[in-house]
Structures are given as C-alpha cells and as structure tokens.
Amino acid sequence: MKKKKFNISSLWQYYLMLVPGVILTFIFSYIPLYGVIIAFEKYNVGMGFASPWVGLENFRYLFAQPTFTRTIWNTLYISFWKLALGIVVPVTIAVLLNEMASDKLKRFYQTLIYIPNFLSWIIMAGVLMDILSSTGAINMILMKLGFPGVDFLGNAKVFPWTMIISDVWKGFGYGTIVYLAALTGIDPSLYESAMLDGANRWEQIKNITIPLLMPTVVLMTVLALGSVLNAGFDQIYNLYSPAVWETADIIDTYVYRLGIQQAQYSVGAAVGLFKSLVSAIMVIVSYRLADKLAGYRIL
Amino acid sequence: MKKKQFSLYQLILIIGLGIICITCVLPFIHLLAVSFSSSAAVAAGRVGFWPVEFTAASYEYVITGGRFLRAMGISIERVTIGTLLNIVLMILTAYPLAHNDLPGRGILSGFFVLTMLIGGGMIPTYLLVSGLGLKDTIWALVLPGALPVYNMIILMNFIRGLPPALEEAAWIDGASPFQTLIYVIFPLLGPSLATVGLFSMVGHWNDWFAGMIYMSEPLNYPLQTYLQTLLVDFEKLLQSDTTGNIQDILSKMNARTGRAAQLFLGALPIMLVYPFLQRYFTTGLTLGSVKE
C-alpha cells in the first residue's frame, strides 16, 4: 500500500484507532521507565518515588557483591552455549531432514520435534524433575548400563549443562523449521548439475546446501544476540536450588529473589536497569548487523 | 534432485532422525504412564512407557481436590479476555500504521518499537501494577501485555501487502476508515490473524510468572502458576489435605503420580490443538520476515 490518498475530514478516525494502544503502551511500557529512578534512590514504600536520592550507591553496592558478579558470568556462559548449540543442532537436523526422500515422513518428524516448543517451562520442568531425579528414568537406564548415577539438578558442575541441553532440546524444532523453509527454496537444478559433475552427497551438502543456508544462519544468530542476557529465567528458576546457585544463578533469578522476594526494590531496579541498558545496546547492534549482513529489517 | 526411495542411506536417515524425534515425545508418554500407575510401582522405578498396576486415583484426586479445576477456570478466563484484547489492539494499531503517508506515522511507530528495545524491568513494572491496584485481579495478567508489539508489526506488514485497490474502492464508495477496516480489511486478515492470535493464546496459557507475582492469594492462581507450586511443595499440600474421602484416594497415589497427572492435563490443551493448527504455528515464522 504505497500511494494512499486520505479523506482529510476522516483522518481523525485513524488516530482514534491508535488511542487505546497508545494509552496502554504509555502506561505499561513508559511509566515503568520513569520507575527506574528508584534505582538511584533508597526506595521506601511509604515515600514512593520521592524516596531519598543516593546516586550510584546501589550500583556500587551491587558490583561489590560477589554473588552478583558471578551471576553475570553464569548468564553469559549459559547463554553462549545455548546460542551456539541452538544453531548447530537445528542446522544439522534440518540438513538431514532435507535429505530424506519421503515427504510424508519428513512432515511427521517436523510435527514431533516442534511440540516441546509450545509447552510451558513449568510443564517441562516437571517432566525434567521426574526423569532426571535420582530414581528417575534416566538414572535407572544409566544404572542398568553399569554407569554411576548423575545428580543432574543438584550438582553445581552438571547443572548448567542440564540447562543448556534441555533448552536446546525444547527449542530446536523451531530453528529446524526455519532452516528447512530456507532449504526448500534452493533451486533443485543446482544439485542436478552437481551430480552431473560427479559430486557425491557430502560434497553437495558442503558446497551447495550449507553456503545457501548461511544467510539464514547469520540472521538467526544476530537476532538471538539481542537476548544474550536472558539465559532463561523460566527454566532456571523452576529447576535450580540453593545447592547450585554458585553456577546456576543468573541475572534474572537474582533480581527476582532480591527485588521481589526480599523487597529490596532499589537494588533490584538497579540490576534491571543495568540489564536493560546492555540488552538495548545488543538489540540495536544486532538489528544493524542483521540489516547489513542479511538485508533483514522488521520495519 | 531425484532421491532414491530405498537405500541404506535413506534407512540410516529414517532411523537416526526417528530416534531424535522420538525423544521429543517420549518424556510425555512416560509422564502419562506414571500418572496412571500405582504409587508403589512408581517408587520402585518399574514404570516405563506403559502404566504399571493401572489406577486412575491421581485423576480422581484432581477432580475431587478442586484446586486444579479452579486454576484451569482462571486460565480459561485469562486466555479468553487476554487474546481478545490482544487481537483488538493489534488490529486497531496495525491498520493505521500500515498507511505509509499517515501524518506522524514515523513518530507513532517509533513510540511502539522503542518499547521492544528498552523497558523498566521487573521491579518498576511490579510496583506500577501494584500501585494501580490491579493485584489479585485478572487485569494484572492481561493489561501489561495488552499490545504485543512484535506481533502487531507482523500484522502491519501483512496489511501493507494487501492490494491497495481494495481500500481505494471502499473509499470511492464512501466508506469511512472504520468501515473499511471492519468490512474490507478484517475479513482478509484470516491466516495472519490466526497465527498471531494463536501465539497470544499459547502465551497466555503458558505464562505462570505474572500469576505468581500479582496474585497474593493462591486460590487466584492461573493453571501454570498453580502447577508451579506443585513442583515445589506438592508433598506438603497432599499431607495437609483432609477433604471428604480424599484419604482413600491418597492411599493409591503419591506426589509423583499426582503431579504427573496434573502436568499432563496442563499440557493436554496445547497437544490437542497443535496437530490441527500446526500450519498456522509454522507460517508465523515466515510472516515475520516480510520486507518493505
């Protein structure tokens, strides 16, 4: 809809349509922005936003806490591996699915792998707690095979990897479908001429499929960079315990415990502000990159 | 590319990928088997993918206990109100913004897009919702996310892709912008509206966090928040329960089978609609990348 003429006398109707959205967005997205001033105050429920101003004191306090600085490291570590495996696994599965001759079976497999994506982390956490417990299905199998049992959720060394692998498992169906869509767009004559030149299957995958998939891979990676500080609150909050805080506590779980459970609103808001600033920069940089590298724009 | 139907390569692919795909559903089959097994069989680790010493005691508990059904009712209320609100606001916002020469369009779309980049964070939002007196009402669950900006943009891009002649014809016939939206544009939104609507429904159904922070009374918890409490202290809840003939049911179940039954029921609505609506779930992924 490029060229539009307006009936000026009814132009107001367009603005009227926008009113409810503007009001609600203003209240629930912009007023909380004003609320971040409590990150610079010693917030007191009785005084509200007029609480005493303390400048950067809350931030100084935070960065002096070893329990906070470790959450940054934990967040980046868990996020990085989720991001990396969240690309490698779906790309591999999509390439393999694309090699399958039977379209019916291919569709059926897609249906199966996309299911966990739509279930809440509450359901998934319940399932994982059940099958990963010391008497759960996975440990039963390990013991039958003669391996020692593994404390997937209670051992601080193992816990981050339990999170990374289960997250990739829950989410890989989404990426797989995105990559498969990109693969079906590849011109079949490319493969035909490659076969005429005597290229085997692996050479075809390496020289045709992977290079043509790269723009989509770059796009998905760049878009995921924007959420690198979200290491998965829903997942970790529902599966962690004080025994694994050392390696499992991420920025969001820390804000929640401090800000809402212990009602330390100012410090909680300070962490939140720190996180949104870094995230905003990441989002802007990643959208710029997406535009440059893959020609992708959402607006 | 012509692929051979039967070959060793195809067989390896079918089996190898089959195993990976099966791991996506096996845990749920196990959960279902646990929910229908006796507590003794579950405790002894004898339950695989088929119920052992079949009993429906856990499901009886769910029905007599009442907490589950109450929470489910609240979730249904939330999904209905929340999704309707999302859809109405997305359409009302997307339609005017789809007009490139609407005066002030740049500022207005910037106003919405900016909220995707910056936010006040958990604490200021929590204080605001409490300050507005929305705590312990359904509005705390549906108003803060009433306009999903990303999905609104998907819808806006879809409207932009419609042939301009349709709207022009409506104007020539003297239709006002509201009439054009209702009678010309709205009926054409079909598949894209189904997609963003479904994402709203799934989002509202699956959300547990808003319920946990905004509901101080556990009886007001929506289903996923209630299920979350089961992950933490279902054992205690079971011991303290003394309603009616519950002791009789409790002798045949334990926390693990009861939890399995409720988790399974919590996942069921999505598993039921998913196969039928799968194509909308999938098209949503490609809709988002519509370019100017």
Could you tell me the two tokens for A273? Answer: 């502000």
Nearest CA in chain A to B28: A127
Token pair for A20 = 């409810």
Mean pLDDT along residues B209-235: 89
Cβ distance B224 to A14 less than 8 Å, yes or no, reads no
Per cent of chain B over pLDDT 90 is: 37
Q: Quick check: B291 and A296 CB within 8 A?
A: yes
* Average pLDDT across chain B, whole number: 85
pLDDT at B283 over 70: no
Confidence of residue A25 (pLDDT cuts 50, 70, 90): very high
Q: What pLDDT, on a 0 to 100 scale, did the predictor assign at position A233?
A: 93
- Tell me whether residues B274 and A99 touch, CB distance under 8 A: no
Confidence of residue B245 (pLDDT cuts 50, 70, 90): low
Tens digits of per-residue pLDDT, B128-162?
999 999 999 999 999 999 999 988 988 998 898 88
Confidence of residue A299 (pLDDT cuts 50, 70, 90): low
Predicted confidence at residue A3, as pLDDT, reads 46
Does pLDDT of B218 surpass 90? Answer: no
pLDDT value for A2: 43
Give the span between the Cα atoms of A216 and B274, in whole angstroms. Answer: 26
pLDDT score for B209: 93
Query: At residue A21, what is the residue type?
Result: G
- Give all domains of chain A, ordered by start, each with its CATH number: 65-294 (1.10.3720.10)
**pLDDT, average across residues B105-129:** 87
Residue indicated by tokens 């012509």: B2
Nearest CB to A115; choose among B9, B25, B176: B25
Question: pLDDT tens for residues A60-82?
Answer: 998 998 889 999 999 999 999 99
- pLDDT over threshold 80, residue A201: yes
Shortest alpha-carbon distance between residue A80 and chain B (Å):
21
Chain B residues whose beta carbon lies within 8 Å of the beta carbon of residue A22 = 108, 111
DSSP string computed for chain A: -------GGGHHHHHHHHHHHHHHHIIIIIHHHHHGGGGGB--BTTTBTTSPB-TTHHHHHHHT-HHHHHHHHHHHHHHHHHHHHHHHHHHHHHHHHHH-S-HHHHHHHHHHHHSGGGS-HHHHHHHHHHHHSTTSHHHHHHHHTTPPP--TTT-TTTHHHHHHHHHHHHHHHHHHHHHHHHHHTS-HHHHHHHHHTT--HHHHIIIIIHHHHHHHHHHHHHHHHTTTT---HHHHHHH--GGGHHHH--HHHHHIIIIIIS--HHHHHHHHHHHHHHHHHHHHHHHHHHHHHH-----
Instruction: Tally the C-alpha atoms within 13 A of residue B142's C-alpha that lie toward its C-beta.
Output: 23
* pLDDT tens-digit series, residues B158-197: 898 888 888 888 888 888 889 999 999 999 888 888 888 9
Q: Which residues of A touch B34 (CB under 8 A)?
A: 130
Asked if B20 and A4 come within 8 Å (Cβ–Cβ), the reply is no
Which pLDDT does position B290 carry in this prediction? 39
Q: Which residues of B touch A298 (CB under 8 A)?
A: 150, 153, 288
Q: What is the pLDDT of residue B166?
A: 87
| A103 vs A109: CA distance, rounded Å | 10
Q: Which of residues 143-162 of A touch B (CB under 8 A)?
A: none
**How far is it, in rounded angstroms, from Cα B269 to Cα B203?**
13
Whole-number pLDDT of residue A73: 94
* Residue B285: per-residue pLDDT: 52
- Closest chain A residue to B112 measured between Cα atoms? A25
Binned at pLDDT 50, 70 and 90, residue B243 comes out as low
Q: Which of B220, B202, B199 is nearest to B211 (CA)?
A: B220
CB–CB of A276 and B119 under 8 A? yes
Query: Is the CB of residue A259 less than 8 Å away from at least one CB of chain B?
Result: yes
CB pair distance less than 8 Å for A119 and B206:
yes
Average pLDDT over residues B227-246: 73
Q: What is the pLDDT of residues A88-101, one digit of tens each?
A: 999 999 999 988 88
Instruction: Report the residue of B79, B84, B111, B123 to disrupt the A interface, i.e. the one with the largest count of A CBs within 10 Å.
Output: B123
Query: Which pLDDT does position A19 carry in this prediction?
Result: 95
Residues 242-271 of B with CB under 8 A from A: 256, 259-260, 263, 266-267, 270-271
Q: Are B288 and A298 in contact (CB under 8 A)?
A: yes
Lowest mean pLDDT among A52-66, B150-164, B202-216, B275-289: B275-289
What are the chain A neighbours of B88 within 8 Å (beta carbons)?
Answer: 20
In the predicted structure, residue B205 carries a pLDDT above the cut 90: yes
The answer to whether B282 contacts chain A (CB < 8 Å) is yes
Q: For A103-117, B57-71, B244-258, which range has the lowest pLDDT when averaged over its residues?
A: B244-258
pLDDT above 60 (res B287): no
For residue A52, count CB atoms less than 10 angstroms from its CB and return exposed for 0-12, middle for 13-18, buried for 19 or more: exposed
Checking if the pLDDT of A1 tops 50, the result is no
* pLDDT grade for B291, boundaries at 50, 70 and 90: very low
* Range among A18-27, A94-103, B241-250, B263-272 rated most confident: A18-27
pLDDT at B292: 32
A97/B24 CB distance under 8 A:
no
- B288 pLDDT tier (thresholds 50, 70, 90): very low
CA distance A234 to A255: 13
- ipTM attached to this prediction: 0.85
- Count of beta carbons in the 10 Å neighbourhood of residue B136: 14
The answer to whether A32 contacts chain B (CB < 8 Å) is yes
A291 touches chain B (CB under 8 A): no
Section A266-277 average pLDDT: 88
* Model pLDDT, residue A6: 59
